[in-house]
Amino acid sequence: MTESKETYRLIISGGGTGGHVYPAIAIANAWTEKYPESEILFVGAKGKMEMQKVPEAGYRIEGLRIAGIQRKLSIKNLSFPFKVLDSLHKSRKLLKNFNPHLVVGVGGYASGPVLFSAQRKGIPTVIQEQNSYAGITNKLLAKNAKAICVAYLGMDEFFPADRLHYTGNPVRKDILHLEGKKGLGLKHFGLQTGKPVVLVLGGSLGARTINQAVLGAMPTLSEKGYQVLWQTGKFYYEEMEEKVRHAEIEGIFPLEFIKEMDLAYAAADIVVSRAGALSVSELSLVGKPVVFIPSPNVAEDHQTKNAMAYVSKEAAILLPDDEAVENLAVVIQDIMEDHQKQEELGRHILELAKPDAAKEIVKVMESIIR
């Protein structure tokens, strides 16, 4: 990507989860790589992870008081209209002072007020939708957006077809380069060479069902000589670590959080994961056999829809959440013992990968600014 001396002002809004924050930072990085003179301002929701992660990535961020409406009856919902009005007011002020050429929304609470205010002022907007099932806010904002960048085919079900761009989801750069890292990964995590590795991911906070499934499966997996590199999540780490210790089973390695994801992916032979948009996009680039256990606790069951986009192409295995505890060991064993299946799953998921997603989104943004 060649550098340009042209300078632009961009606002990138949204966040709330890693699935929104990391693509946002990847887009900003790809843009500044090409236009290093540009100014980028992030707008997030106060108290959410973007308020920490964005400054760590070297960008300025402003926080809105916006929060989601509780699905159950809650006293918190009484303050919701006031938070929306306050966020709209601050969004208008930020837009006036910063005067951006373009506003990009990546989903999450802060995306709504900022994009809505920008559209009312006639500032061009771009939406980046990570999931295979569009949320209500993005569907409403898409009517006046100049472009919608998506990670799945068939999104004209939710968005105007003439403004859709199939770009994929931007992911962290280190995941693009795994060749030759297997030995490093095994050494880093204290794993033995020559023994198969199952990498289990339930997100940074953890996933109760996946953790319970691993506890149930670990005697069988250990007996088969498999090693389990297991991100338990911070809510469950102490409990899981204690249970593994008491069970005295070899080859099970619980960790609260895995920072060096490139080394973990490189070490793995099979990956077990939730099916959040970012996880799915990363795993397509890794090219290993994947077992998706979609979370049932998400809006519109979108994780199952994310997973099915891959399962329908024979690029992953789906294990429903309510069957995971009973069947995880059997599913892993079936894949481990079938080398042809391993090869096919790895090949098919790589065919769906979009390694240049961030650069493709930058091209869309350029076309609108110009």
pLDDT digits (tens, 9 = 90+) for 182-233: 999 999 999 999 999 999 998 766 799 999 999 999 999 999 999 999 999 9
Per-residue confidence at 68, pLDDT binned at 50, 70, 90?
A: low
Mean pLDDT, the chain, rounded, equals 93
Cβ-based neighbours of 25, under 8 Å, separated by 6 or more: 53, 54, 57, 59
Whether the model pTM is above 0.75: yes
CATH number of 9-169+355-369: 3.40.50.2000
pLDDT digits (tens, 9 = 90+) for 147-168: 999 999 999 999 999 999 999 9
> Per mean pLDDT, which range of 66-70, 211-215, 221-225, 312-316 is the poorest?
66-70
Per-residue model confidence (pLDDT) at position 143: 96
Segments making up each domain of the chain, as ranges: 9-169+355-369, 174-351
Q: Which residues are annotated as a binding site?
A: 17-19, 131, 172, 204, 258, 277-282, 303
Residue count (the chain): 370
Q: Per DSSP, what are the bridge partners of residue 270?
A: 198
Q: Which residues are annotated as a binding site for UDP-N-acetyl-alpha-D-glucosamine?
A: 17-19, 131, 172, 204, 258, 277-282, 303
**Integer CA distances (angstroms), 263 to 51, 185, 191, 199, 274, in order:** 27, 4, 12, 11, 19
Per-residue model confidence (pLDDT) at position 17: 83
Per-residue confidence at 69, pLDDT binned at 50, 70, 90?
A: low
CATH topology identical between 9-169+355-369 and 174-351? yes
Which architecture characterizes domain 174-351 according to CATH?
A: 3-Layer(aba) Sandwich (3.40)
Answer yes or no: is pLDDT of 242 > 70: yes
Per-residue confidence at 77, pLDDT binned at 50, 70, 90?
A: low
Q: Where would I find the beta strands (DSSP E) of the chain?
A: 9-13, 39-45, 60-64, 102-105, 125-129, 147-150, 164-166, 197-201, 227-231, 252-255, 270-273, 290-292, 317-318
Answer yes or no: is pLDDT of 79 > 70: no
